[in-house]
Amino acid sequence: MITVETTPPQPGTIRLGEFIQFRVSKPGPEVETRYLLVHERIIYTKPVLDWTADPLFLFFPEAPGDYRMVVEWRAPDGSRGQVAVPFAVTAGTVVSWAPQKVRVDRSTSLWAPSGWESMQVESWEQQLVALVKEVLTPGSVVYDVGANMGLYSVLFARLTGAEGHVYCFEANPVCVHFLRANLSHNAVANADIIPLAIAQEAGWLRFNINYGNSNLGLSEVSHFYAAKTGHEIQVECRDLDGVVSQLGLPPPGLIKIDIEGAEERAIRGMHSTLAAHLPILVLELHGAEVARLTLDLLTPMGYRYRHPSQPEQVLEQGELLDRHATGVFQTVAQVPRG
């Protein structure tokens, strides 16, 4: 009933960071297609693109490996079928899908789920780390919202010392497993894990797990949820104000938030905590619109912003967005004292 061509042509091989285009030839416009992804033997049942009459689809892989795009079709007469299109994504090196240990610095190493994810750990943000070291004082309490595998949690635990404490919030069960292992591996005694998604209110959220790249785990309140493929599960979500109240957590001196486009909703759920304590915020913001919505909540509280590439400059919201809000970017937000 249908045929599928790709650009580049089959057998397709593209480099990480490139798109692959699927063009469907079909007998009439009423025939619809949808796209399901298979990556390194894992079949994701959540469609990459649900039923559509559009004959063109651009897919952007975010991890290397062997892929198969299964293009399902259906016609008004009830007939249906599928076409499987294999392709490969290369990253300039052979990637092992076994867990890997990676050296971060002379005193820190982490376990990562795969060779590809260990490469991401190796390229962590040294400018942001330097700024965090400047603002975080010994004895502080840190909330690490979106702790992932513990890269920053370990750093925070070392910087705060025995008198400080780190609370690691992470909803992805794969990441929770590696987070616990990495805290233990680095002999971190002043940290606890709270396996929740932080959002605006308590409840349950759909959550995507991508087994090729744990950094892509995100909840349905993220602005990018529909565009990400993965294994869809449900996770518990809570507002941070409610968690702080229920567990009696000590006031934070710093909150790090890196939750893949769900920053605005998380900030709304921690308004009382922010207003009462005005902690330093380490934010990863995902695009201009998410950044604007998030900072619109913080600026009226008195927060001003520094970018890791220009740490000596204190910026107003508009200045920060004009200079840096073209994609994913990081900022450290503080309320000026005195």
Instruction: Write the pLDDT tens digit of every residue in 232-274.
Output: 999 999 999 999 999 999 999 999 999 988 999 999 999 999 9
CA dihedral 124, 184, 146, 98 (to 10 degrees): 60
CB count within 10 Å of CB 27 equals 9
The confidence score (pLDDT) of residue 236 equals: 97
Question: Is the pTM above the cut of 0.85?
Answer: yes
Least confident of 154-163, 213-222, 260-269, 313-322: 213-222
Give the C-alpha separation, 130 to 124, whole Å: 12
**How much is the average pLDDT of 110-124?**
84
Give the C-alpha separation, 232 to 84, whole Å: 22
The confidence score (pLDDT) of residue 145 equals: 98
Residues 270-286: tens digit of each pLDDT: 999 999 999 999 999 99
For the chain, give the percent of residues with pLDDT over 70: 99
Residues 193-234: tens digit of each pLDDT: 999 999 999 999 999 999 988 877 878 888 778 778 889 999
The single residue listed with the structure tokens 């290369």 is 90
Nearest residue to 239 (alpha-carbon basis) of 196, 275, 282: 196
CB count within 10 Å of CB 326 equals 11
Give the C-alpha separation, 168 to 153, whole Å: 7
Q: All domains of the chain, ordered by start, with CATH? A: 3-90 (2.60.40.1220), 100-334 (3.40.50.150)
What's the angle, vertex CA 127, arms to CA 122 and CA 128, rounded to 5? 90
Give the C-alpha separation, 281 to 234, whole Å: 28
Q: How far apart are the first and last CA of the chain?
A: 72
**Confidence band (pLDDT; 50, 70, 90) for 325?**
confident
Burial class (CB in 10 A: 0-12, 13-18, 19+), 69: buried
DSSP state of 269: T
The confidence score (pLDDT) of residue 338 equals: 66
